Amino acid sequence: MSNKRIYDAIHNHIGKGEVFSKEEEYELLTKIENHHVPPAKRKWFPELVGLSLAGAAVLVMIGLIGSQTGLFSFLGGGQPDKLDTSLLKESEIHGLEDMSEERREEFLTRQPKAYYAESVDDALNALPFKLNLPEKLPFDSAFVVEGINDWHYPSNTDGKDISATFRAAKGNEFILIEAIDFEQEFVESGNQSETSVEEVELKKGIQGNLEMMSSGGKIQFENKKGIKIKIYLHDSENIYNAREVLMDLANQMVD
């Protein structure tokens, strides 16, 4: 074998040229031909170190932005710590034109800050809690966002006390789902004599209250994360078995 081939073999497989004895050359070439010599050692350059540092800086910046804006909800990091308003748009409040400035300000301090989302995915990703909407509905339809409210008084700044409402409809029939992450007291209207309340058990031992009405019904329960969920079914023509539909919808939302 020529000296050039020896040199090329040594240079390509060791990464640098060296002077060897005849015995060492023979042993080395034997190993090369039998593919027993490890690949060349990598050389490190300042440019690579600089790129690594730049990449680390980018990751740190992404972390800071994600912690502030809820970006990690898109990157598989779960829900944001508080309502991510970067995914939402603030709803306009109508009927304030005839109010004085003082009365308008006083009125607004008693109202939740209302938002809407351009898509259901944006709304779900903006919430500070995980919510699984039912995928199997009794009729051919899809959910839309009815609204999201921040109920924190008086400043509406902590993004913690949140309610979200979603709706799916076909003709006169509709399903309304409301999720709330705090204790809320309210008075519901309606003829209570037309309803009957039944305690039911959902998947994973979750307890719920099923309320049947002449034109549908309602089921409400609290999941293991403390989120209170209400599902309304309006079925004016009694097309569906309201009890079965409500139980199925609720079980789809149990995670």
State the pTM of this model: 0.66
Q: Return d(Cα 46, Cα 80) in angstroms, integer.
A: 39
Which neighbouring-strand residues pair with 179? 164, 229
In which order are the strands placed within the sheet that holds 113-116? 89-90, 113-116, 144-150, 162-170, 173-180, 228-234, 216-222, 207-213, 196-201
Rounded mean pLDDT, 207-225? 95
CB within 8 Å of 43: residues ≥ 6 apart: 15
Least confident of 19-23, 50-54, 214-218: 50-54
Tokens of 47: 């440019």
Whether 20 has a pLDDT exceeding 90, the answer reads no
Q: Return d(Cα 109, Cα 113) in angstroms, integer.
A: 9
Residue 141 confidence (pLDDT): 97
Domain boundaries, the chain: 3-33, 86-253
Closest CA to 128 of 115, 138, 141: 115
Per cent of the chain over pLDDT 70 is: 63
Residue 87 confidence (pLDDT): 96
Per cent of the chain over pLDDT 90 is: 49
55 or 143: which carries more pLDDT confidence?
143
Least confident of 64-78, 107-121, 217-231: 64-78
Q: Return d(Cα 26, Cα 1) in angstroms, integer.
A: 10
What is the Cα 124 distance to its own chain's centre? 6
Q: Return d(Cα 162, Cα 228) in angstroms, integer.
A: 11
Rounded mean pLDDT, 4-31? 53
Residue 215 confidence (pLDDT): 93
Residue 62 confidence (pLDDT): 42
Tens digit of each residue's pLDDT (9 = 90 or more) over 131-141: 999 999 999 99
Whether 121 has a pLDDT exceeding 60, the answer reads yes
- For the chain, the distance separating the N- and C-terminal CA atoms, rounded to the nearest angstrom, is 71
| DSSP strand pairing (207-213 vs 144-150) | unpaired
Rounded mean pLDDT, 235-253? 96
Rounded mean pLDDT, 228-248? 96
Rounded mean pLDDT, 221-249? 96
Rounded mean pLDDT, 11-26? 53
Which neighbouring-strand residues pair with 168? 175
Tens digit of each residue's pLDDT (9 = 90 or more) over 145-197: 999 999 876 555 677 799 999 999 999 999 999 999 988 665 455 555 456 79
Whether 27 has a pLDDT exceeding 60, the answer reads yes
Highest mean pLDDT among 38-42, 193-197, 239-243 belongs to 239-243
Residue 171 confidence (pLDDT): 94
DSSP state of 86: G
Give me the torsion for CA of 176, 179, 64, 119, rounded to 10°.
0
| DSSP strand pairing (216-222 vs 162-170) | unpaired
State the chain's mean pLDDT as an integer: 77
Closest CA to 69 of 88, 85, 89, 58: 85
Whether 236 has a pLDDT exceeding 80, the answer reads yes
